[in-house]
Amino acid sequence: MKIFILSISLFFSIIASAQNSLDELLHQYNNESIPYISVSTLKAIQDTVLVFDAREKKEYQISHLKEAIHVGYDYFKIESITQQHISKDSHIVVYCSIGIRSEDISEQLKKAGYINVYNLYGGIFEWKNKGLPILNSKEELTDEVHTYSEEWSKWLHKEKKNALN
């Protein structure tokens, strides 16, 4: 019985220590094939790059970055980008909630020949955690953020969380 309790205790301590930083979480889920761009760097150059939102439409409608183009994730088709005749050397920053789905979309863009593609480190959560503005579906400032899931919601430290609506 003592060994069982020790095993259970060890299991929960491993779980508790896992993913205790965003770096660890992103390293666990991403292969880091796309360079990250920081929130502060994106803020400084936001008017000179294309910003793609790789979250689902319901997430985007609750809030998104200014002038972000919704490209989605589950139903993303690279043709939706290539048919727009966006230059292959355009600077593109892709974001999602924390930076996992956006890496997948960024990899597809790279594979299609786009050469200046970046993944927003920490996604919209990090953007909001830094106190930067987000817009709702009416393009008005909002504090609400769709947290994607209860599990990911812990990475959003500020403002109103709109978990699964």
* Of residues 56 and 16, more confidently modeled: 56
Residue count of the chain: 165
**Number of domains into which the chain is organized:** 1
How many alpha carbons lie under 13 Å from residue 99 in its C-beta half-sphere? 29
Asked which of 13-17, 50-54, 114-118, 156-160 is least confident by mean pLDDT, the reply is 13-17
CA 109, 100, 126, 35 dihedral sign is negative
Whether residue 9 lies inside any domain: the answer is no
The DSSP symbol for 34 reads S
Q: Which residues does the annotation mark as catalytic?
A: 96
Which residue range(s) make up the domain with 88?
19-161
For 1-41, how does the pLDDT look when each residue is reduced to its tens digit (9 = 90+)? 444 343 433 333 333 344 579 999 999 999 999 999 999 99
| Contact predicate 46/134, CB 8 Å | no
Phi, psi (rounded to 5 degrees) for 5: -65, -40
Whether residue 44 lies inside any domain: the answer is yes
Whether residue 94 lies inside any domain: the answer is yes
For 108-135, how does the pLDDT look when each residue is reduced to its tens digit (9 = 90+)? 999 999 999 999 999 999 999 999 999 9
| Contact predicate 122/146, CB 8 Å | no
| Contact predicate 102/94, CB 8 Å | yes
CATH code: domain of residue 106: 3.40.250.10
